[in-house]
Structure 1
């Protein structure tokens, strides 16, 4: 686990060191910080809509005692796909004259991370009936980590705002080791 955190921090440092207006990590476009905030907000509003659909289904399976590999795996797959779609959307942003503050983006992102962590913590009690749960959680952790790295490339400093918003709920982030490392929690 420590080596995964170290690798994540190394990847973030390398990404940030190479991110300049002339060059960006493969697949990530460098966009003017102020002009793209509304577009970033749209990406995360769309992601929030997806997570608001997926996470309650997982929570219902857990609370109903029907969480199993067959019922949870497709939902975790949908959640991972939603995170990956948001990451891809960040890399294809266009400049917009509409603006949303970085604080608003950070608040939405922190809320999404908190909700995902809460659901994963509830799901952790189902590990005996979902043998691949650890692998599924790692997939979510990696996808969320990549999303945060992409966000920090597009809107430098917002990840720091997200970390500040999550300090009071850092204990919930236990299953998301890469994210904890990236946020410095």
Structure 2
């Protein structure tokens, strides 16, 4: 009888603890529009940074001191996009757009970064080591990898759109980005 009371007590405690446990959280899969929102935010952020770099080049006032904060901001924007993409739980490609839409949205961002930074090559002889030291290639590659994780095959589409930019990426020593894109 004493044993049955102990067993009953354990079963009762177990039932109470199971009943008190929260239901498992089921993450909603992101749709493509969620991914496009992240890319759009990245585009908006880079659209404020890249013109500043271009203005420094145009005014012949670009130097390591003047561009370092802008490149740091650029790396930060890419890091924020990477974090946002990582928070999405897969992608439901049946809603909110397509992989083509994502490729069309990210390609101009990558091209803009490559174009603006390549304008610095003459003004800042230490540009490639500065970019490497600030991890810009790594940051850009992480964004692209995040997109590929969510939408398998999207990097093939992006690469097709960036064939003309491959030379700029190569001159900036963006080896990781080029490798991810297969360029």
Find 1:111's aligned residue among 99, 108, 115: 108
Contact 1:31 1:154 in 2 (8 A): no
Distance 1:68 1:41, change over 3 A: same
Please tell me whether residue 67 in structure 1 is matched to residue 65 in structure 2: no
State the alpha-carbon separation in 2 of the partners of residues 152 and 98 from structure 1.
17
Please tell me whether residue 45 in structure 1 is matched to residue 40 in structure 2: yes
The residue that corresponds to 1:171 in the other structure is 167
Contact 1:91 1:150 in 2 (8 A): yes
Instruction: Note the residue ranges of structure 1 that are not aligned, 5 or more in a row.
Output: 1-29
Show CA shifts across 1:37-94 (max 9, x none): 1111000000000110000100100110111222100000000000000000001126
Find 1:85's aligned residue among 80, 89, 106: 80
Choose 111-120 or 96-105, whichever is displaced more: 96-105
Find 1:123's aligned residue among 117, 120, 123: 120
Instruction: Note the residue ranges of structure 2 that are not aligned, 5 or more in a row.
Output: 1-26
Please tell me whether residue 181 in structure 1 is matched to residue 179 in structure 2: yes
The residue that corresponds to 1:13 in the other structure is none
Q: Highest relative contact order (Cα 8 Å, sep 6+), 1 or 2?
A: 1
Contact 2:107 2:162 in 1 (8 A): yes
Larger Rg: 2
Contact 1:87 1:147 in 2 (8 A): yes
Deviation at 1:155, TM superposition (A): 1.1
- SS of the residue aligned with 1:142? helix
Relative to the length of structure 2, the TM-score reads 0.76
The residue that corresponds to 1:20 in the other structure is none
Distance 1:31 1:151, change over 3 A: farther
The residue that corresponds to 2:9 in the other structure is none
| Runs of 4+ residues over 3 Å off in structure 1 | 94-98
Contact 2:62 2:124 in 1 (8 A): no
